[in-house]
């Protein structure tokens, strides 16, 4: 037989095999998507995903667990799938996807025994994203223009220099034209719950960080809607009958002060962290120095603060 003819026949045969395999794969995929997810099938797919996860075959595990995270036949497996997906995404530094999984858990399983853990992981992931160069729906990639300054950019986008520096890992205020910066456009607001001694940092109704705080003794912290009017590092403390300097052992404002539109009241740090979580202040909202430093970096002047009993 002609050698060229043999080669041609073999080539056609190989091509035919690939075509058949391709059609078969396509049929299987389409059939799979039409397949009704019964309880048994959900369990099988979930166990397969967990086995792949144990082998650190993350990409295949994601595909299996995504299927079981979207079904409603077995809600326990759905919740566990979301937790495992979030864990995989964190391992892969895919923080946006991890946050979506934790958010889905808090929305779909508000009465779950694991809701506190999910909420904490959601907050931790949200803060990592906020302080990273990752661009999400609440931020933009901004190109520095001639004569731009960090303070000017912060004012234009209603954010802070501190947050610009943190999220872009800047060691100084120096920026150059052409440089790209992550700029947060989130509209933050604060809720203080006196009954729990907790401060909630929110963005669009979503809690992104919960802080334990101290509030006023004898119900002295005012209730209502206020705004942050001034932000100062270690200001002089004007107490009744005295002016206390930051280097004084009697100074009680800690590292930062954020004055509220309720005159004489504010959110500040402390030199005595053991008082946090108690109703013990003269009416102000007291935080640990670490927490007030973080919050001070995030929220700009004008941020709304709601204080509730």
pLDDT (0 to 100) of residue 90: 97
Q: Does residue 258 sit in the same domain as residue 237?
A: yes
Q: What is the CA radius of gyration of the chain?
A: 28
Whether 263 and 272 have beta carbons less than 8 Å apart is answered as: no
pLDDT (0 to 100) of residue 242: 82
Q: Does residue 211 sit in the same domain as residue 288?
A: yes
Q: Does residue 69 sit in the same domain as residue 163?
A: no
Indicate which CATH number applies to the domain containing 176: 3.10.350.10
Dihedral pair phi/psi, residue 162, rounded to 5° = -60, -40
Q: Does any domain span residue 1? A: no
Has 33 been annotated as catalytic? no
Distance (Å, rounded) from C-alpha 35 to C-alpha 98? 27
Expressed as residue numbers, the domain containing 269 is 188-308
Q: Which of 33, 101, 268, 274 is catalytic?
A: 268
Q: Does any domain span residue 111? A: yes
Q: Does residue 287 sit in the same domain as residue 201?
A: yes
Q: Does residue 109 sit in the same domain as residue 143?
A: no
pLDDT (0 to 100) of residue 276: 97
Q: Does any domain span residue 290? A: yes
Q: Does any domain span residue 172? A: yes
SS3 20: helix
Indicate which CATH number applies to the domain containing 211: 2.40.440.10
pLDDT (0 to 100) of residue 5: 53
Whether 142 and 181 have beta carbons less than 8 Å apart is answered as: yes
Whether 65 and 48 have beta carbons less than 8 Å apart is answered as: no
Q: Does any domain span residue 17? A: no
pLDDT (0 to 100) of residue 271: 87
Distance (Å, rounded) from C-alpha 229 to C-alpha 147? 28
| Tokens, residue 147 | 């004569």
29, containing H or E segment: helix 3-34
Distance (Å, rounded) from C-alpha 216 to C-alpha 235? 20
Distance (Å, rounded) from C-alpha 48 to C-alpha 37? 15
Q: Does any domain span residue 133? A: no
Distance (Å, rounded) from C-alpha 51 to C-alpha 161? 47
pLDDT (0 to 100) of residue 32: 44
CA 201 to chain centroid: 11
Distance (Å, rounded) from C-alpha 207 to C-alpha 220? 26
Q: Does residue 267 sit in the same domain as residue 292?
A: yes
Per the structure, the count of domains in the chain is 3
Q: Does any domain span residue 265? A: yes
pLDDT (0 to 100) of residue 183: 99
Q: Tens-digit pLDDT profile for the chain (309 aa)?
A: 555 555 555 555 555 444 444 433 443 344 445 567 899 999 999 999 999 999 999 999 999 999 999 999 999 999 999 999 999 999 999 999 999 999 999 999 999 999 999 999 999 999 999 999 999 999 999 999 999 999 999 999 999 999 999 999 999 999 999 999 999 999 999 999 999 999 999 998 899 999 999 999 999 999 999 999 999 998 888 877 788 898 888 888 889 999 999 998 999 999 899 999 999 999 999 999 999 999 999 999 999 999 999
């Amino acid at each position: 037989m002609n050698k060229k003819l043999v080669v041609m026949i073999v080539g056609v045969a190989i091509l035919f095999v690939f075509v058949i395999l391709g059609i078969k794969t396509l049929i299987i995929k389409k059939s799979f998507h039409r397949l009704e997810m019964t309880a048994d099938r959900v369990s099988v797919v979930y166990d397969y995903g967990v086995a792949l996860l144990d082998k650190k075959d993350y990409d295949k595990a994601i595909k299996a667990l995504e299927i079981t995270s979207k079904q409603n036949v077995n809600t326990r497996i759905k919740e566990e799938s979301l937790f495992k997906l979030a864990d995989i995404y964190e391992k892969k530094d895919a923080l946006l996807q991890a946050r979506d999984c934790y958010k889905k858990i808090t929305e779909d399983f508000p009465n779950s025994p694991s809701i506190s853990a999910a909420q904490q992981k959601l907050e931790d992931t949200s803060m990592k994203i906020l302080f990273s160069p990752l661009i999400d729906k609440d931020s933009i990639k901004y190109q520095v223009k001639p004569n731009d300054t960090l303070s000017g950019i912060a004012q234009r986008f209603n954010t802070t220099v501190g947050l610009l520096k943190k999220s872009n890992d800047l060691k100084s205020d120096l920026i150059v034209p052409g440089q790209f910066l992550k700029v947060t456009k989130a509209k933050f607001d604060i809720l203080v719950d006196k009954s729990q001694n907790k401060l909630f940092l929110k963005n669009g109704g979503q809690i992104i960080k919960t802080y334990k705080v101290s509030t006023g003794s004898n119900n002295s912290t005012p209730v209502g809607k206020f705004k942050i009017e001034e932000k100062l590092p270690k200001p002089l403390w004007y107490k009744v009958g005295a002016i206390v300097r930051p280097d004084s052992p009697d100074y009680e404002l800690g590292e930062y002060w954020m004055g509220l539109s309720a005159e004489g009241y504010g959110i500040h740090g402390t030199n005595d962290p053991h008082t946090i979580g108690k109703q013990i202040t003269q009416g102000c909202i007291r935080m640990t120095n670490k927490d007030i430093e973080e919050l001070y970096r995030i929220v700009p002047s004008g941020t709304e603060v709601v204080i509730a009993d």
